[in-house]
C-alpha cells in the first residue's frame, strides 16, 4: 500500500520530522480556508500516487487565500499519469535553497535495508541513479545494529552535503529509519529534503510504501487503506474477499492457487491472448464462490471471455463442474467461458459440462488455446 504525501507527512510529524504546516483539502474553498489559517504563501499540491506532479502542473504556489482557491480549482479534477486528483495538500511554501534526497528501501539482493542520501534531490532518484550514480551515497544496514551515528556521518560525507545540512541529517535519517521499521515499510523516501534560506531542513515531500502483508499490524492505517484503492474494481474485489489484480487485457482469468493463476497468465499470453486480471479463488469452488468470482471479473467491461483453470486435488472435478453450472444458471453471462479441469474426478466433471455453454478443456494449454480462439474470433 502506498501512502499519499500528506498521509506520509502526518506520520513524519509524529516522529518529529519537520514538515511544513498544512492540511489536505477536498474543495477550493477548503484550500482557501487553510491558506488563510497559514497566513503566508502556500503551495497547493495534487495528492495522487504519482511522482512528477510539478511538471504535470499539479504543484502551484499561492500568495493569498484567493489564489489558493484558484490554484486548487485548477488542480482538483485534473489527471496526472491517468490518476484523477481528488484532493490537494495546502501547506506553507518552503523557501528552497537546495534540494536533497533521503531514502530507505529493502535491497533484496543484499538481504538488507539500504539507506541512500544524495545531494541531487528534487528529481526522481531513478534518473540520478542512471545519469550520475556516484552522486548517491549508499549504506546497507545490519538489522541487529541499526543505524549508527558514524554511519550517518559517513553518508553525509560521501554525499557532499554542506556543513549546514549535516547538522540536521541525523535527526532525519534516524526518524526515517524508525518510521521504516515501525510501519513495516518497503520504501520510505523524502525527496526533496529541503534546505531553506535560513539553514533549516524540512521534508517537502514524502513517499511511503508499506508491506501489505504487515498491514494488520497497523490498524491506525485502515482509514488510509480504504482511500488508497485507485482501481474501483480492485477495491470492490477486495471488499468481496477476493485476491484480484486488474490487468489491461481482455481475457478474465480465474484459478485456485496463486501459482496456478500466475502460470495461467503466462500460458494465455504465450497462446497470443491478453489477460484482463489475476483472480485466485483459493481452495474449493463452491457455486457461491464461483458466482462471486465470475461477477467480479465481469465488472471489467474489457473482458470478452473467461478462462477458469481449476487444479483438483482436494477439490473434486465434479464438485467444481456442479458449482460452475449452478453459478452460470443464476447469471446472465454473455461471454464464452472455458473451464479446464484436472485432478480428482476431472473426467466426471468434464462430462457434466457437456451440453452446457461452458467449454471444457483437459489441459491448461488446450484451455488457453480455446479461450484465445473464442475471444479473438478465430
Ligand atoms: P513530485 O515531483 O511529484 O515528487 O513532487 P514534490 O513534492 O517532490 O515537488 C516537486 C518540486 O516542486 C520540488 O522539487 C520543488 O522544486 C517544488 N516544490 C515543492 N514544494 C515547494 C514549495 O513549498 N516551494 C517551492 N518554491 N517549490 C516547491
Ligand atoms: Mn518528490
**Ligand 1: which residue has its CA nearest to atom 7?**
205
pLDDT at residue 60, as a whole number:
98
Q: Which residue is associated with the grid cell 535519517? A: 173
pLDDT at 212 over 90: no
CA distance 168 to 6: 22
Residue 304 phi/psi, 5-degree rounding, is: -110, -5
Protein residues with C-beta less than 5 angstroms from the ion ligand 2: 191, 205
Better-scored residue on pLDDT, 21 or 257: 21
Better-scored residue on pLDDT, 88 or 311: 88
Which runs of consecutive H residues, i.e. helices, occur in 183-313? 222-228, 232-239, 258-270, 287-297
Mean pLDDT across 55-68: 97
pLDDT at 378 over 70: no
Return the ligand 1 atom nearest residue 5 CA: 7
| H-helix or E-strand spanning residue 158 | helix 149-158
Mean pLDDT across 6-13: 96
Return the ligand 1 atom nearest residue 58 CA: 3
Here the cell at position 30 is 477548503
| H-helix or E-strand spanning residue 311 | strand 305-312
Mean pLDDT across 131-150: 95
Q: Which one of 189, 244, 271, 319 is the catalytic residue? A: 189
| H-helix or E-strand spanning residue 131 | helix 125-131
pLDDT at residue 12, as a whole number:
96
CA of 5 to the centre of ligand 1 (A): 11
Collapse the DSSP code of 234 into the 3-class scheme (helix H, G, I; strand E, B; otherwise coil) and give the result: helix
- Bridge-based pairing of strands 185-196 and 207-210 is antiparallel
Mean pLDDT across 244-263: 94
pLDDT at 10 over 90: yes
pLDDT at 227 over 70: no
Pocket of ligand 1 contains residue 208 by CB under 6 Å: no
Mean pLDDT across 358-364: 92
Mean pLDDT across 177-190: 97
**Ligand 1: which residue has its CA nearest to atom 16?**
122
Q: Please check whether residue 116 is in contact with residue 169, taking contact to mean a CB–CB distance below 8 angstroms.
A: no
Which of 75-89, 136-150, 216-230, 346-360 is predicted with the least confidence, judged by mean pLDDT? 216-230
Mean pLDDT across 199-216: 93
Please provide the distance, in angstroms rounded to a whole number, between the alpha carbons at the two ends of the chain.
40
Here the cell at position 327 is 453459478
pLDDT at 314 over 80: no
pTM beyond 0.85, yes or no: no
**Ligand 1: which residue has its CA nearest to atom 5?**
53
pLDDT at residue 100, as a whole number:
98
What DSSP state is assigned to residue 233?
H
- Highest-confidence segment of 288-292, 342-346, 357-361: 357-361
pLDDT at residue 31, as a whole number:
98
Give the mean pLDDT of the chain: 93
Which of 132-141, 199-208, 355-364 is predicted with the least confidence, judged by mean pLDDT? 355-364
CA distance 45 to 52: 11
pLDDT at residue 228, as a whole number:
65
pLDDT at 210 over 80: yes
| pLDDT tens by residue, 268-302 | 999 999 999 999 988 766 778 888 999 999 999 99
Amino acid at each position: 500500500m502506498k501512502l499519499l504525501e500528506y498521509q506520509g507527512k502526518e506520520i513524519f510529524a509524529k516522529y518529529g520530522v519537520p514538515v511544513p504546516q498544512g492540511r489536505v483539502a477536498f474543495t477550493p474553498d477548503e484550500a482557501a480556508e487553510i491558506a488563510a489559517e497559514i497566513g503566508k504563501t502556500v503551495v497547493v499540491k495534487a495528492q495522487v500516487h504519482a511522482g512528477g506532479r510539478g511538471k504535470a502542473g499539479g504543484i502551484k504556489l499561492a500568495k493569498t487565500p484567493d489564489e489558493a482557491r484558484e490554484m486548487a480549482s485548477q488542480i482538483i479534477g485534473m489527471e496526472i499519469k491517468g490518476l484523477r486528483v481528488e484532493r490537494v495538500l495546502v501547506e506553507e511554501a518552503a523557501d528552497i535553497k537546495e534540494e536533497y534526497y533521503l531514502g530507505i528501501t529493502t535491497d533484496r539482493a543484499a538481504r538488507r535495508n539500504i539507506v541512500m542520501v544524495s545531494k541531487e534531490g528534487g528529481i526522481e532518484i531513478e534518473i540520478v541513479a542512471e545519469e550520475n550514480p556516484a552522486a548517491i551515497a549508499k549504506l546497507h544496514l545490519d538489522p541487529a545494529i541499526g543505524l549508527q551515528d558514524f554511519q550517518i556521518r559517513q553518508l553525509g560525507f560521501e554525499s557532499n552535503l554542506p556543513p549546514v545540512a549535516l547538522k540536521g541529517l541525523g535527526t532525519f535519517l534516524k526518524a526515517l529509519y524508525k518510521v521504516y521499521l515501525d510501519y513495516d515499510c518497503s520504501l520510505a523516501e523524502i525527496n526533496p529534503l529541503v534546505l531553506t534560506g535560513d539553514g533549516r531542513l524540512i521534508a517537502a515531500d514524502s513517499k511511503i510504501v508499506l508491506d501489505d502483508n504487515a498491514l494488520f499490524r497497523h490498524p491506525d492505517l485502515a482509514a488510509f487503506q480504504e482511500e488508497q484503492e485507485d482501481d474501483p474494481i480492485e477495491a470492490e474485489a477486495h471488499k468481496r474477499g477476493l485476491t484480484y489484480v486488474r490487468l489491461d487485457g481482455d481475457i478474465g482469468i480465474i484459478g485456485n492457487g496463486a501459482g496456478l493463476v500466475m502460470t495461467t497468465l503466462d500460458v494465455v499470453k504465450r497462446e497470443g491472448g491478453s489477460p484482463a486480471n489475476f483472480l485466485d479463488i483459493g481452495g474449493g469452488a463452491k457455486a457461491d464462490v464461483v458466482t462471486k468470482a465470475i461477477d467480479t471479473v465481469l465488472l471489467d467491461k474489457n473482458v470478452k471471455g473467461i478462462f477458469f483453470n481449476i487444479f483438483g486435488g482436494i477439490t473434486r472435478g465434479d464438485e467444481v463442474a456442479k458449482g460452475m453450472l449452478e453459478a452460470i444458471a443464476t447469471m446472465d453471462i454473455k461471454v464464452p467461458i472455458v473451464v479446464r479441469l484436472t485432478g480428482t474426478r476431472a473426467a466426471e466433471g468434464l462430462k457434466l459440462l457437456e451440453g452446457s455453454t461452458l467449454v471444457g478443456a483437459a489441459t491448461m494449454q488446450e484451455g488457453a488455446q480455446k479461450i484465445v480462439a473464442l475471444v479473438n474470433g478465430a
